[in-house]
Amino acid sequence: MWRWFHRLASPPHLYRTAGALTPWFAFAAAILIGYGLVDGLAFAPPDYQQGDAFRIIYVHAPSAWLSLFGYTAMAVAGAIALIWRIKVGYAVAAAAAPIGASFTLSALVTGSLWGRPMWGTYWAWDPRLTSELILLFLYFGVISLRKAFEDPGRGDRASALLGIVGVVNVPIVHFSVYWWNSLHQGGTVMRLGKPEMPGSMLWPLLAMLAGFMCFFGAVLCVRVRAEILTRERQSTWVREVVAA
């Protein structure tokens, strides 16, 4: 395992690995998201309380999950770079930040659209919504801090530290509906015991979740390759890749 880990620390090896994985992630994402959208929007029965308005969950819930997953992945990559001085960790963290921020924005927008008919307002300072908004600001802070230094190395280290410190908000977002009085409903899928959703609603949601994960992986691979080329542009192997 350690040999594999150290091989990934090589920019050329990670560049080639990301390139090989991209089409697999993209193909799986297309199949899973296509199935989830068709089954969830066209064939899943309406909710007995929310009616057809519940169908926004097929975009909202995966977006919210990926917002947390993306931030955790970014923080882990930054920690690897800081602790083991593996520079490609900074490239992975830099590549993951805008993707995670996009999913966070998607979760907030779709949640607001769902909240209008359910709560009577697009926004309420609910613990889950507020902590998710803080997560978006943390993403913006990490992205901005990286660009705030003339020295790229200092920017990488500063943004990695902020990412690691900010990861404390991830469990707050997840458990906020249990720790405080919240308008937001509790977990119905990621919970101990049997999920509360019937299979006709659950399977397309799980497909969308897996599809969003694969989409995240595909976009991350593309962005990591671009980051590596930018950071290693003076290297001989990059010149050979560009020339080829």
Domain presence at residue 17: no
Domain presence at residue 2: no
Q: What is the pLDDT of residues 72-103, one digit of tens each?
A: 999 999 999 999 999 999 999 999 999 999 99
Does 6 score more than 70 pLDDT? no
Question: What is the average pLDDT score of the chain?
Answer: 89
Confidence of residue 194 (pLDDT cuts 50, 70, 90): low
DSSP 159-223: HHHHHHHHTTHHHHHHHHHHHS--SS---SSSSSSS-SS-HHHHHHHHHHHHHHHHHHHHHHHHH
Domain presence at residue 226: yes
Best CA proximity match to 218, nearest among 32, 7, 5, 11 = 32
- The single residue listed with the structure tokens 């998710």 is 132
CB 40 within 8 A of CB 205: yes
Domain presence at residue 6: no
- Residue 91 burial class via C-beta count within 10 angstroms: exposed 0-12, middle 13-18, buried 19 and up: buried
Q: Is 84 helix (H, G, I), strand (E, B) or coil?
A: helix
Q: What is the mean pLDDT of residues 112-132?
A: 86
Report CA-CA distances (Å) from 19 to 26, 138, 225, 227.
Answer: 11, 29, 7, 13
Domain presence at residue 233: yes
Report CA-CA distances (Å) from 147 to 11, 103, 137, 225.
Answer: 21, 21, 16, 19
Question: Would you state the pLDDT for residue 73?
Answer: 97
H-helix or E-strand spanning residue 35? helix 11-38
Domain presence at residue 3: no
Domain presence at residue 144: yes
Report CA-CA distances (Å) from 145 to 44, 61, 152, 162.
Answer: 44, 29, 10, 9
151 φ, ψ to 5°?
A: -85, 115
Secondary structure of the chain: what % helix, strand, coil (to 5)?
A: 80, 0, 20
Report CA-CA distances (Å) from 118 to 115, 132, 185, 186.
Answer: 5, 19, 11, 15
CB 184 within 8 A of CB 128: yes
Domain presence at residue 58: yes
Does 187 score more than 90 pLDDT? no
Confidence of residue 200 (pLDDT cuts 50, 70, 90): confident
Instruction: Quote the CA–CA distance of 144 and 222 in Å, as a whole number.
Output: 21
Does 183 score more than 90 pLDDT? no
Helices 152-166, 57-84: axis angle to 10 degrees equals: 120
Range of the domain at 45: 22-185+197-243
pTM of the model: 0.93
Domain count, the chain: 1
Report the Cα 97 to chain-centroid distance in Å: 8
Does 162 score more than 80 pLDDT? yes
**pLDDT > 90 in the chain, percent:** 66
Does 192 score more than 50 pLDDT? no
CATH code of the domain covering residue 65: 1.20.120
Q: Which is higher by pLDDT, 214 or 48? A: 214
